[in-house]
Amino acid sequence: MVCTLKDRFDYIYAFIEFQIVDFQGQFKDNGAYIYIQDLWIHPTAQGGSALKKLIKLVNDHPFSKDALFVYWDNLKNNERKTPSYPRKRLAKLGEYNGQKIQSYAFSS
């Protein structure tokens, strides 16, 4: 699924692509994991509330209602998967263990 943020001129300035999967990474409606495949925020919108808005869109999506965890590919570590973070904490704070979740941490 893809969620986008648009400005007043209807231009996309941020998007997130995600899937709902089971423990083994297979597609499953109402799965326990949200896998974020890709995230992009225009450089002029970074540092604002765009990331929190995208997280809210994913959090409010009907298929993600049963998901408990979220993970993504990490660019800094040779695109290895991150550990599974508790979804509720990530969505509530936009951070985990005191570290801000940066948009460059996501990759397709």
The hierarchical CATH code for the domain 2-105 is: 3.40.630
Residue 63: which of 21, 26, 24 has the closest Cα?
21
pTM of the predicted model over 0.75:
no
How, if at all, do strands 99-100 and 12-21 pair?
Answer: unpaired
Does 73 score more than 80 pLDDT? Answer: no
| Residues 50-75, mean pLDDT to the nearest whole number | 84
Express each pLDDT in 14-54 by its tens digit. Answer: 999 999 998 888 888 888 899 888 888 999 888 778 888 88
Does 59 score more than 50 pLDDT? Answer: yes
Domain layout of the chain by residue ranges: 2-105
How, if at all, do strands 33-41 and 69-74 pair?
Answer: parallel
DSSP string across the chain: -EEEEE-TTS-EEEEEEEEEE-TTS-B-TT-SEEEEEEEEE-TTTTTTTHHHHHHHHHHHSGGGTT--EEEEEEGGGTTEEPPPEEHHHHHHHSEETTEEPPGGG---
